[in-house]
Structure 1
């Protein structure tokens, strides 16, 4: 079979590999879609401390079961399924409290286990043990199902930030995650969603598809002043920084309303993670700042339901489709801002 295997930063090879065989507690999938992520770009450029190469990467995976291990239950050849990316251990104190996203023993597809940029893969026992494989509802394509994984992460972030009816929400970043945040905030009955993006062409592309109430480009306007003006001086109820930007995080604290919530959804570079924070703003305005790290298997199932029901549309977010041979082109396209979501179809 054909795979895309990462060896070192800048070294991702399309090569032949033996087809995997499912163990007694594993599934073997024919990968139908594995969508790309900004993390794939980071891995290609810099590697990752959780990834020990060589490794087949790709973690937004949907496919068809071709072999079910003898000790698995509920799956059979021909089943259409989508799988989680981040795998909690299920046994630690954090998992015991329902905090699977911060499991210190978490493992991941495409990092610790071979991922979805391949014609076939095995779903490891660890995924099945935490209920990390979900049947794809009838009528939903593999391509859309693969987007459930990033939507699950977005869902976790918005739950932590308490996005709900009547909220004015500002989303920094108009990449695929920012677009999903925009769509989900609308589905959660936000009063208005403002989308902010420094790359004007990316903002125009995203705004034409997801249709936020307002699109703001920081090179054209002072975003803090614009949001305050749009809200009559009150500020936004929720600000989500879906971009690896110190400026976005600092601006979020300046434009959020009293009793507002700020989600630092996108992390900063590990060698430069410190921002300026006026703690008196947090103190006197009673602000809440939350992080967001991945998702749980339950979020994953809920995300798939949101897509299948039409509550959060994703089909129009998939702007590019490439075969496995084009995975390098796919990852490059992600970096340029010429696409919203790029999916690989092995």
Structure 2
């Protein structure tokens, strides 16, 4: 079968490998969609310390079951499924407390296990053990289901930042995650959602789809001042930094209202992980700064339901659909910011 496989930084190949078979406790699926994200671009260029090549890439996975391994119950060939990306152990102290997103033993599809840029793949027993294989609701396409994984990550972040009724929310970064954050914040009852982005072209592409209450180009104006103007000097209740930018995190603190919540959603480059924080702003405004790390199996289930009910539409965010042999080209499209969401259809 055909796969897209990482061999070394800068060496990703479209190639033939033997078709896998499901072992005990496993499920084999025919991959129908595996969507791409910025992490795929980083892996293709720089590798990852959890990836021991060669490794089939791809972690935003949806498909249909082909065969079920011995000992697997409740699943049958033809079932339409979505696969979690981050796999908690389900047994450690954090998992037992319901904190699966911060499981210290977490492993991942496309990193520790073969991923979804393939015609067929095996869902490992580790996924089934934590109830991480999810039925795709009726009326939800495979492509939409593949976007449930990044939506689940956004859901985790907005839960932690307590996004809710009447909030003014700022999303910094207008990539696919930023667009999902805008729509999710609206679904959670935000009064207004503002979108901030450095690239005018990317901002307009995203704003035309998700229709924020204001679209602010940070290359042209001071976004902190703009948010203050839009909120009559008060600042925003929630700021989500959906960009790998230390400056965005610093600006997020500055534009927060009293008792505002700042979500550091986008991680920073490992060679520059620190920012300057005005601690007095945090102290006197009683601000909350919270991280967000991936999603749990339950978040994935909730994300699929949000898509199924229409609360968070995702179909129009998929701007590019490419065959499996176009996956390497897709990384370039993502890196250049020419798309919102690119999905691969093996």
TM-score normalised to the size of structure 2? 0.99
After TM superposition, the structure 1 = structure 2 runs for residues 136-147 of structure 1, keeping only pairs within 5 Å, are 136-147=136-147
Q: CA deviation at 1:172?
A: 0.3
2:157 and 2:44 mapped to 1: Cα distance?
A: 26
Identify the residue that residue 262 of structure 2 maps to in structure 1.
262
1:23 and 1:340 mapped to 2: Cα distance?
A: 37
Q: CA deviation at 1:257?
A: 0.2
1:338 and 1:248 mapped to 2: Cα distance?
A: 21
Identify the residue that residue 176 of structure 1 maps to in structure 2.
176
Q: CA deviation at 1:89?
A: 0.2
Identify the residue that residue 312 of structure 1 maps to in structure 2.
312
Deviations 1:286-310 (A, max 9, x none): 0000000000000000000000110
Number of aligned residues: 346
Say yes or no: does 1:11 pair with 2:19: no
Q: CA deviation at 1:139?
A: 1.5
1:298 and 1:139 mapped to 2: Cα distance?
A: 20
Q: CA deviation at 1:174?
A: 0.2
Identify the residue that residue 226 of structure 1 maps to in structure 2.
226
2:31 and 2:12 mapped to 1: Cα distance?
A: 19
Identify the residue that residue 50 of structure 1 maps to in structure 2.
50
1:294 and 1:185 mapped to 2: Cα distance?
A: 17
Identify the residue that residue 242 of structure 2 maps to in structure 1.
242
Q: CA deviation at 1:113?
A: 0.1
Identify the residue that residue 289 of structure 2 maps to in structure 1.
289
Deviations 1:200-234 (A, max 9, x none): 11100000000001000012211101100110000
Q: CA deviation at 1:70?
A: 2.1
Identify the residue that residue 216 of structure 2 maps to in structure 1.
216
Identify the residue that residue 201 of structure 2 maps to in structure 1.
201
Say yes or no: does 1:329 pair with 2:329: yes
Deviations 1:160-215 (A, max 9, x none): 00000100000000000000000000100100000000011110000000000100
Identify the residue that residue 302 of structure 1 maps to in structure 2.
302
| Structure 1 segments (4+ residues) deviating >4 Å | none
Report the 3-state secondary structure (helix = DSSP H, G, I; strand = E; otherwise coil) of the residue aligned with 1:320.
strand
Identify the residue that residue 151 of structure 1 maps to in structure 2.
151
Identify the residue that residue 88 of structure 1 maps to in structure 2.
88
Unaligned runs of 5+ in 2: none
2:252 and 2:14 mapped to 1: Cα distance?
A: 41
Identify the residue that residue 62 of structure 2 maps to in structure 1.
62
Deviations 1:321-342 (A, max 9, x none): 0000000111110011110000
1:25 and 1:307 mapped to 2: Cα distance?
A: 29
TM-score normalised to the size of structure 1? 0.99
Q: CA deviation at 1:27?
A: 0.3
Identify the residue that residue 20 of structure 2 maps to in structure 1.
20
1:194 and 1:51 mapped to 2: Cα distance?
A: 37
2:251 and 2:235 mapped to 1: Cα distance?
A: 11
Report the 3-state secondary structure (helix = DSSP H, G, I; strand = E; otherwise coil) of the residue aligned with 1:244.
coil
Q: CA deviation at 1:49?
A: 1.2
Identify the residue that residue 189 of structure 1 maps to in structure 2.
189
Report the 3-state secondary structure (helix = DSSP H, G, I; strand = E; otherwise coil) of the residue aligned with 1:219.
coil
Identify the residue that residue 98 of structure 1 maps to in structure 2.
98
Identify the residue that residue 35 of structure 2 maps to in structure 1.
35
Identify the residue that residue 341 of structure 1 maps to in structure 2.
341
The CA RMSD measured in Å over matched residues stands at 0.5
Q: CA deviation at 1:138?
A: 1.3
Deviations 1:92-146 (A, max 9, x none): 0010111111100000000000000000000000000000001111111000000
2:77 and 2:70 mapped to 1: Cα distance?
A: 12
1:262 and 1:147 mapped to 2: Cα distance?
A: 24
1:253 and 1:138 mapped to 2: Cα distance?
A: 42
1:40 and 1:139 mapped to 2: Cα distance?
A: 28
| Larger deviation, residues 42-51 vs 124-133 | 42-51
Report the 3-state secondary structure (helix = DSSP H, G, I; strand = E; otherwise coil) of the residue aligned with 1:126.
helix
Say yes or no: does 1:132 pair with 2:141: no
2:115 and 2:34 mapped to 1: Cα distance?
A: 9
